[in-house]
Every structure is written in C-alpha cells, then in structure tokens.
C-alpha cells in the first residue's frame, strides 16, 4: 500500500511502536507485521471507561481510536524487555504518518513459532495534536550545552522545577556549577516520584 507524505513525495511511512521508559520514548525491539488496518474511531464514553477516566490522557489528543497490531520478536529477551513497560504510555506511528499515543488494553495474543514470538497488541489511542511535547519555558543558559537534551527531558518529566513559589520563571539552570547535596536529594526524590508514577501506569505527560 503506497502512502505519501504531505509534501507529496513517493516515500512511504514505516509503522513504528514506542514505549515510555520513564525518560524517553524507546522503540519496541520487534518487527511490525501483518496487514495494515487504520485505527478505528470509538466513542469518547467508551474511551473514558477503558482508560479509567484519566483526564490527563483523554485531553491529550483529538479523537479516540482502537487498533490491533501484530509484532514479531526474534528473541525472548527482546519480548521480555518490552513486557516490563507494557503498562506505560505507548506511541504509535501508523502507515499514513499519523501519530497516536495510548495504552495497551486487554490481553495480548501470544503465539510462538520456533524461537520467534508473534504478539497481537490491542491499543487504545488518541491522535496527537501537532506538538510532540507540552509547552515549556527554556533555561537561557543551556542552549548548545552538551547536556541540553538531558536537561530538556528532565524538565518535560517534571523532575526539574521551572517556576519559583511566587510563579515567576527560573531563568538559569547553571549546568556547569557543582551540584549541592540538597539539589542531589531533590533530584533523587523527584526521580523516584516519577518512576513510581510510570510503574503504576499514571504517567501520561
């Protein structure tokens, strides 16, 4: 099936599935196979019930969909690594290049042929808005710094505070300063809270 990009080139999109490991989205180490079926629109009421009324997730996209995709894992290790994060948020790029985010819903369909695992994955999805990340206020002293990417990721995850208690923005991160004992403890506590949310399936940001 030939699909074109918005600029009307003949390049086709590749279906891809990612999971949130608590720091960034990582591609599932399996090959997507089977016939492509576009995600099916569903009623918002049904989505609310299945996602347990998680408002932060429901309000994230434009419409609600279900999808069933099939993946082949060539080793038990690759399959087991993904299972550790099966309750986390997933991101799905479909064959038309549309971006969806969602969760695995229902039971996996599992079959094994020789050393390969063939998995049918049911997904409950919302179609993402144009922007990939939430709006953020950038620190003015991290641009072009070697750690800029990592600082941005921690900021996206809520591990780094961007405002003071009076609501004003924190302008300087001071990436080259030595970290204090107090700052170290604060980062550890915020990281622990974030990981706890991911493991309990409550992180959708």
Overall pTM > 0.75: no
179-199 pLDDT, tens digit per residue, is 899 888 988 888 887 787 666
- Domain ranges in the chain? 16-128, 148-199
118-167 pLDDT, tens digit per residue, is 999 999 888 875 444 444 567 888 888 898 888 888 887 778 877 776 66
| Dihedral angle of Cα 42, 43, 49, 52, to the nearest 10 degrees | 70
- What number of CA atoms fall less than 13 Å from residue 73's CA on the CB side? 20
CA distance 53 to 59: 10
- Ramachandran region of residue 32, left (φ > 0), alpha (ψ -120 to 50) or beta? beta
CA distance 105 to 122: 6
Residue 129, CA distances (Å) to 60, 114, 116 in order: 7, 41, 36
Structure tokens belonging to residue 124:
């409950």
11-43 pLDDT, tens digit per residue, is 456 788 999 888 888 899 999 888 888 888 876
Taking the alpha carbons of 31, 97, 99, 132 in that order, is the dihedral positive or negative? positive
CA distance 194 to 188: 10
């Amino acid at each position: 099936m030939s699909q074109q990009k918005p600029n009307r080139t003949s390049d086709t999109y590749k279906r891809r599935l990612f999971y949130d490991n608590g720091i960034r989205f990582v591609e599932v180490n399996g090959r997507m196979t089977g016939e492509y079926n576009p995600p099916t629109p569903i009623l918002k009421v049904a989505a609310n019930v299945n996602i347990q009324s998680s408002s932060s997730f429901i309000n994230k996209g434009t419409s609600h969909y279900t999808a069933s995709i099939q993946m082949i894992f060539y080793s038990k290790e690759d399959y087991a690594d993904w299972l550790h994060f099966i309750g986390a948020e997933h991101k799905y790029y479909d064959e038309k290049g549309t971006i969806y985010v969602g969760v695995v819903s229902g039971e996996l369909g599992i079959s094994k042929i020789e050393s390969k695992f063939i998995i049918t994955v049911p997904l409950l999805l919302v179609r993402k808005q144009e922007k990939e990340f939430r709006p953020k206020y950038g620190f003015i002293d991290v641009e072009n710094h070697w750690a800029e990417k990592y600082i941005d990721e921690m900021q996206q995850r809520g591990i780094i505070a961007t405002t003071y208690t009076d609501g004003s923005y924190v302008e300087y991160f001071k990436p080259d300063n030595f970290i204090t004992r107090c700052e170290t403890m604060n980062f550890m506590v915020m990281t622990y809270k974030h990981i706890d949310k991911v493991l309990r399936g409550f992180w959708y940001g």
